[in-house]
């Protein structure tokens, strides 16, 4: 049935132990539901775990781009309910549905070891987002959740925003291209006002416009934790981008550099207050240029902790 243990070579004993656990859970489920048997799943697990040579490699179970069969998700659900060495689980492009997300959320809710989960580029909709958000409201271990390119829509984003009110461990949340829209952005803005842990938020390609941009700018007046906010390919007005950018600069620790991906809109909106040399532009890093004036002639002093401006170029 799939990979035989004798045919695999494990250099990491802990990886072998996890494979045995997965194989046993899979075998048990096949006895209960023989029609769900899928040899490719166990073979994939065997190849992934037998390639682990040290503890650092074992931390991640990468099943990206492998269409996960129903018995595969059920097996992972059973395995994640018990303590393992799996800290990072990557299931991007695995063909996951709302039903899969519901099953996975039950594991996330009680997991004490999982820190990072990537579910990007699947078919998880508002119902799946709701289940995952509920699990994040209970789980106080997970630091990073990636849900980019899933059709969560504003209803699903609202559930994620609600989870931000109670979750105190999430640092990185990916919600790009989830059909959030202005309504979803407004829900997130409300959640950010009460969250002091989230550092990185991805919201690119979400059709966030005037209303959503305004609410995000208002939220960042009160939120002091967000350091990086991706808003690429959203029709947000320059005024809101300026306000958001200033808030992010304020939040930066001393010596850190603002990293915004607004396709140049932020730089244009700030006029001469932000300059970018060639090497900086390649890294999308924005430097504050003190002493200049914004539109309307009003001086804008650098925010607390802003990095120093690069030296002015000398004469040719």
Q: pLDDT, tens digit, for every residue of 209-263?
A: 999 999 999 998 888 888 888 988 899 888 888 888 888 888 875 334 444 444 4
Residue 67 has pLDDT above 70, yes or no: yes
261-270: list long-range contacts, CB under 8 Å, 24+ apart: 261/204, 261/230, 261/231, 261/232, 262/231, 262/232, 262/236, 263/232, 263/233, 265/236, 265/238, 265/241, 266/241, 266/242, 268/238, 269/238, 269/239, 269/241, 269/242, 269/245, 270/242, 270/245, 270/294
Binning pLDDT at 50, 70 and 90, where does residue 19 land?
Answer: confident
pTM of the model: 0.78
**DSSP annotation of 274:** E
Q: Which of 103-107, 127-131, 147-151, 244-248 has the lowest mean pLDDT?
A: 244-248
Q: Which of 83-97, 107-121, 239-253, 266-280 has the lowest mean pLDDT?
A: 266-280
pLDDT at residue 257 in the model: 40
Q: pLDDT, tens digit, for every residue of 98-118?
A: 999 999 999 888 888 889 999
- From 232, 303, 96, 218, select the one nearest 289 (Cα to Cα): 303
User: Beta strands 285-288 and 274-275: pairing type?
Assistant: antiparallel
pLDDT at residue 56 in the model: 54
Alpha carbon distance 216, 192 (integer Å): 9
The answer to whether 114 touches 86, Cβ cutoff 8 Å, is yes
């Amino acid at each position: 049935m799939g990979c035989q243990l004798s045919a695999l070579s494990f250099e990491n004993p802990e990886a072998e132990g996890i494979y045995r656990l997965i194989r046993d859970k899979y075998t048990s489920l096949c006895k209960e539901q023989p029609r769900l048997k899928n040899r490719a799943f166990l073979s994939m697990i065997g190849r992934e775990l037998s390639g682990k040579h040290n503890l650092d490699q074992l931390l991640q179970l990468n099943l990206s781009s492998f269409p996960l069969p129903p018995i595969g998700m059920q097996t992972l659900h059973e395995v994640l309910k018990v303590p393992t060495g799996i800290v990072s689980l990557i299931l991007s492009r695995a063909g996951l549905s709302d039903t899969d997300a519901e099953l996975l959320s039950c594991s996330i809710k009680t997991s004490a070891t999982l820190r990072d989960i990537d579910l990007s580029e699947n078919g998880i909709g508002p119902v799946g987002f709701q289940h995952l958000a509920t699990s994040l409201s209970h789980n106080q271990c997970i630091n990073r959740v990636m849900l980019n390119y899933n059709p969560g829509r504003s209803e699903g984003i609202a559930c994620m925003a609600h989870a931000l009110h109670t979750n105190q461990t999430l640092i990185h949340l990916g919600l790009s291209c989830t059909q959030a829209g202005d309504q979803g952005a407004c829900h997130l803005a409300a959640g950010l006002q009460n969250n002091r842990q989230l550092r990185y938020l991805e919201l690119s390609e979400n059709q966030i416009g005037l209303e959503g941009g305004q609410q995000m700018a208002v939220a960042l007046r009160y939120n002091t934790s967000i350091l990086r906010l991706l808003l690429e390919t959203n029709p947000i007005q320059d005024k809101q981008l300026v306000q958001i950018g200033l808030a992010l600069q304020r939040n930066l620790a001393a010596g850190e550099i603002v990293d915004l991906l607004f396709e140049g809109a932020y730089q244009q909106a700030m006029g001469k207050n932000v300059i970018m040399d060639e090497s900086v532009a390649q890294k999308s890093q924005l430097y504050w240029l003190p002493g200049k004036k914004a539109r309307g002639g009003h001086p804008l002093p650098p925010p607390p902790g802003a990095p120093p401006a690069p030296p002015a170029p000398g004469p040719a």
